[in-house]
Amino acid sequence: MSYGTYGAPRIHAELREAGIQAARKRVARLMRRAGLAGVSRRKRIKTTLRDKRARPAPDLVTRNFSADAADSLWVADITYVPTRAGFLYLAVVLDAFSRRIVGWAMATHLRAELVLEALDMALARRRPEAVIHHSDQGAQYTSIAFGQRYKAMGVRPSMGSVGDAYDNAMAESFFATLECELIDRHRFRDQAEARQAVFHFIEGWYN
C-alpha cells in the first residue's frame, strides 16, 4: 500500500517483487486509464544556517554512503513541515545500512536542541560503537552542545561541503519521499496534527 503516492516505476517494482509479471509501459497505461498518478517533490526552503566561526568536522564519507553493517554510518539533516499555524522543523538520523530512521525530533525552532534530541533518540535505540554521524555544516551540528554530546558518546562526526546536496544525498532522498508522500498531500491545521502525521509516517509506514 502506497497511500496513492507511487508512480508507474515504483508500482512496477512492487509487482515484480510480488511475483506478478507486467510490463512497465502496461502499468503506466493502466494507471493513466484509471486516473492514477504518482506525486512529485516540492521546492524546499533553506534550513541550513552556517556559523562561520565554528570549525566543521572532516568529511569521512566523501559521498560514499555504503555501509557494511547497521549503525556504522548515520546521516542526519533537517527539513520543514508547513502548517496553518507556522512551520514545524523535523530533524532525522538515518542508518545508511538499513535506511531506517533511527532517531528523529520535531520543534518549532532550529536551535541545536532539535538535532540533539534526534541524536539522543538514535543513541538510546541503537547504542552504537564509534558510529560515523554525517551531516551538513549547519550551525546546529557545529554547535558546542552537539560537539560535547558526540565526544561523550563516542560518535565520530563527519560533515559535507557547504551548499552541496550530494554530500548528504541519502538524507535528501528520505526527505524527497516524505515530502512527496505525506507533506505535499496534506494541509495541517497545526503543529500537533503535523506531529501525529509524521510519527505515523516514520514509525508506522517508512520504517
In tens digits, the chain (207 residues) has pLDDT values of 444 556 666 666 666 766 777 776 776 677 677 665 554 444 455 544 555 566 689 999 988 999 999 999 999 999 999 999 999 999 999 999 999 999 999 999 999 999 999 999 999 999 999 999 999 999 999 999 999 999 999 999 999 876 565 678 899 999 999 999 999 889 999 999 999 999 999 999 999
pLDDT of residue 163: 59
Give domain limits for the chain.
Answer: 1-38, 73-206
Angstrom CA distances, 88 to 35, 135, 141, 159, 191, stand at 33, 20, 18, 24, 6
* Topology classification of domain 73-206: Nucleotidyltransferase; domain 5 (3.30.420)
pLDDT of residue 47: 47
pLDDT of residue 146: 94
pTM beyond 0.85: the answer is no
Distance CA(167)–CA(154), nearest Å, equals 23
175's enclosing H/E stretch is helix 169-181
